[in-house]
Amino acid sequence: MDRETVIRTVLVMAIVLAIVSLWGPLMRRFNPAAERPSEAPRPETPAQAPAERVPAEAPSEEPAEEVPAPVLAEEVPAPVLAEEVPASVLAEAAPAVPVMKAPALKVAGAGETEAARTVVIGSARYGGDFDLEAEITSRGTAVRRLTLARHRVFKTVTDRYKKDPDEREAMDLVEPGAPFPAFGIAELRVKFAGSLEREKVDLSEAVWRIDRGKTGPTQVAFSIDVETADGKPVLTVVKTYSAEPRPMAEEESPGESPPQYEIEMHLTFTAADPRVEEVGYVLQGPPALPREGIRTDFRQAVAGLWSGGEVEVKMVPGGKIKAEKGAPAEAEAKTELAGPSLVWVGQVDKYFAVVMIPQKPSAEGTFAAGAEAFRYEVTESGEEQPLAGVRLLVQDLPIKPGEPLRHDYVIFAGPKDPDLLQESYGHLGLADLILWTRCCVDIPGLKNISKFMVVILDGFHALVRNYGLAIIMLVVVLQVVLYPVTLWSTKSMSKMQTLGPKMQALREQHGSDKQRLNQEMMRLYKEEGINPVSGCLPMVVQMPIWIGLYGALMVAINLRHAAFLPTWMVPEGSIFLQDLAQPDALIRWGTPFFIPGQSIPLLGWLIGALQGMLGGGITSFNILPFLMAGSMFLQQRMTPTPAAGGQAQQQKQMMGFMMVFMLVILYNAPSGLCLYIFTSSSLRFLEQKFLKKRFAKPREGGAVPPSPTKGKPLVSGRKKSLAEHAEAWVRKRMDQGKGAGKRK
């Protein structure tokens, strides 16, 4: 046969084989009954059945009463079993267990027999044994109010005038008007044996029973039952709060006893139905704290999570929580804060924190499955403000009848004191809740500068008992330390004044070639030993100190309500310089003032930016920013400048811009920072005035007159000797004699 015949034969055989191989599946597809082979095993010999298929007619090995035929027929039709379900799945499901529908649950508390009641534990009384007072309602066992004792902090600076400390307005970290119940169980999940679903019930709105036998000044216990719809008990939940008094001071170190800012919370779940297998829940966290910051809102939801053997702090404000893309309009805006590595969760402000810590925290995790933050809106000063709430997600854990499941929590609610957080909660990372760099920019090392400023101020405060005087002492010390830098800067700028004619000659010679002009000017500076930026060096050196002090004044709890002027020096009701962490407020008014014209196109953007730099609405006239700007202007005028030319004009314009810029951005800044800059600029003005007398004034030709004395220059501070005084007196008399002879 030739080649073409062979090819045709091979093709025909391939087509025939393909038709034969496909004929059987095609017939089974259109006629399923044709698949049943004549040699199929009988029902009484199921062991000989092929492993990959279970005939639809084969009866189940389970008793009929456990797996009724209608259920199997409804859930798994015979044709599907025969063709589409994998053999491995069928093998595992062969001894099928019936899927039970979980019973509906309801809450059986005290709502039918008594109304919601409140219980107070701890005390906020001045001079008492407690540092916390908690008011807890039986509705949802929520903490309705959480108050700090008055002997350490109080809410407003005007409370300073009240003679009776217990009349001061206390600082509430959880307020009665919170939009959701704090520490309530928003969702309880119960899994029954044989059920794939988990029944859920809300315990945050139910009225719990108060256990009178376990309730007193330091403790309160609540309980509630979860039942089926027909009244059969399923689960009992017991919730206990306890507040411990402040520990006694040790005899070895007499003094004030350490503060106690903790409340313990215990949850116990006891199963009454043997069908209950697992229990999980969602625990509502504390709401956002009251706002204290004028310029910036420091309130955020926070969480600590294990990362590389250490606790990493994650924060999120309400404004950054957005709803997922594509979610319905009514969907809740929320975001995940932490997963199973969660250590704690809570809320912070600039000075205070409320943190819920599941016990026992470790790198292996706790019973918590994670935490999430959600966004909610509140109305403050007539405007909608987005805030962040938090929830603790607890994983589903096994539970057995007669074996209670207990979860313990520690709730820290107190000031963000660096020493307290580091000593008592350093292993949990709570010291990182102090937002040292939140007020400005996150510059490497700025956190350490702010901490160092606080240490120095605390040291000076221990000597003078006034943080305003401590700030002035800090300025004096820094001026002494930086005096060599100021001296070198002043000397360099004075030399620059002598270069006026040479600089003008260079401009006339290379005015058209800017690059060549700059090169020649740099060469001239190098030859004369002058640094052109030396005039700005003292300010550049102090700028990190300003920023670090700004951060310290904004978040250091010791500087909150720290007064500069004693109360007898200010009129009654005035808060002028009574809080160094706030503007000085020489004159106050109630309604905030906003710069008009923000609705004007283009111009409104500029006005809005200016309003933002002012820190929002203006509620007071502050005198310190104007004094600060004036002292900066005088100090700059006293600083030596180039004799003439464009550089002098540029420096003059820069001086004016910096004065206005500092006035705007620091108008609503803490008065302690304005006091620092005002004192620093005033001292530098006097310092420059003193140094100006020590340096000779340049003549019109640019030459420097000879020094009035020989030897060491006077700027060194050395006094003249007796011989030098005598020599100067003789020369003066001789000059007077020569002058008299010429007149004759």
Distance CA 644, CA 563 (A): 46
Question: Which of residues 433, 463, 488 is at a domain's end?
Answer: 433
Contact 288, 174 (CB under 8 A): no
Which residues, in sequence order, are CB contacts of 208 under 8 Å at separation 6+? 109, 110, 138, 139, 140, 141, 222, 223, 224, 239
Distance CA 561, CA 474 (A): 19
Tell me, yes or no, whether 482 and 429 share the same domain: no
Question: Is residue 377 included in any domain, yes or no?
Answer: yes
Tell me, yes or no, whether 400 and 496 share the same domain: no
| Summary count for the chain: helices (H), strands (E) | 16, 22
Question: Is residue 285 included in any domain, yes or no?
Answer: yes
Three-state DSSP class for residue 583: coil
Question: Is residue 136 included in any domain, yes or no?
Answer: yes
Tell me, yes or no, whether 401 and 491 share the same domain: no
Contact 224, 108 (CB under 8 A): yes
8-state DSSP, 351: S
8-state DSSP, 349: -
pLDDT digits (tens, 9 = 90+) for 631-657: 988 887 776 655 455 556 666 777 778
Question: Is residue 132 included in any domain, yes or no?
Answer: yes
Structure tokens at 457: 């101020």
- pLDDT for res 251: 55
Question: Is residue 549 included in any domain, yes or no?
Answer: yes
Contact 283, 407 (CB under 8 A): no
Question: Is residue 689 included in any domain, yes or no?
Answer: yes
Tell me, yes or no, whether 340 and 422 share the same domain: yes
- Please, how many CA atoms are within 13 Å of residue 514, restricted to the half-sphere of its CB? 1
Domain range enclosing 82:
53-98
- pLDDT for res 702: 46
- pLDDT for res 462: 94
Tell me, yes or no, whether 210 and 303 share the same domain: yes
Tell me, yes or no, whether 416 and 487 share the same domain: no
- pLDDT for res 318: 93
Number of domains composing the chain: 3
- pLDDT for res 83: 42
Tell me, yes or no, whether 292 and 344 share the same domain: yes
Question: Is residue 227 included in any domain, yes or no?
Answer: yes
Q: State the SS3 of 514-535.
A: HHHHHHHHHHHHHHHCCCCCHH
Tell me, yes or no, whether 408 and 457 share the same domain: no
Distance CA 46, CA 60 (A): 10
Structure tokens at 690: 């003193």
**Which pairing describes strands 300-307 and 310-316: parallel, antiparallel, or unpaired?**
antiparallel
Q: How many CB atoms lie within 10 A of CB 83?
A: 13
Contact 390, 380 (CB under 8 A): no
Tell me, yes or no, whether 165 and 94 share the same domain: no
Could you tell me the CATH number of the domain that includes residue 110?
2.70.98.90
Q: Which of 148, 138, 89, 99 is nearest to 115 (CA)?
A: 138
- pLDDT for res 516: 82
Which ranges constitute the DSSP H helices of 411-465? 418-425, 446-464
Tell me, yes or no, whether 338 and 469 share the same domain: no
Q: Beta strands of 261-299 (E only): which ranges?
A: 262-271, 276-284
Q: Which is it for the CA torsion 22, 23, 24, 30, positive or negative?
A: positive
Which residues, in sequence order, are CB contacts of 447 under 8 Å at separation 6+? 436, 437, 551
Task: Taking each helix axis as running N to C, give the angle between helix 671-694 and helix 624-638, from 0 to 180 degrees, rounded to the nearest 10.
Answer: 20
Distance CA 312, CA 300 (A): 15
Question: Is residue 534 included in any domain, yes or no?
Answer: yes
Q: Which of 596, 616, 604, 608 is nearest to 667 (CA)?
A: 616
Sheet of 276-284: strand order equals 198-201, 185-192, 276-284, 383-398, 368-380, 334-338
Tell me, yes or no, whether 460 and 556 share the same domain: yes
From residue 210, how far is each of 116, 133, 213, 275 by CA, in Å?
10, 19, 9, 28
Q: How many CB atoms lie within 10 A of CB 661?
A: 12
Tell me, yes or no, whether 221 and 282 share the same domain: yes
End-to-end CA separation in angstroms for the chain: 152
Q: What is the pTM of this model?
A: 0.74
pLDDT digits (tens, 9 = 90+) for 79-102: 333 344 454 444 454 455 566 788
Q: Which segments in the chain show pLDDT lower than 50?
A: 26, 29-85, 87-91, 93-94, 643, 698-718, 744
Q: Which of 208, 219, 249 is nearest to 111 (CA)?
A: 208
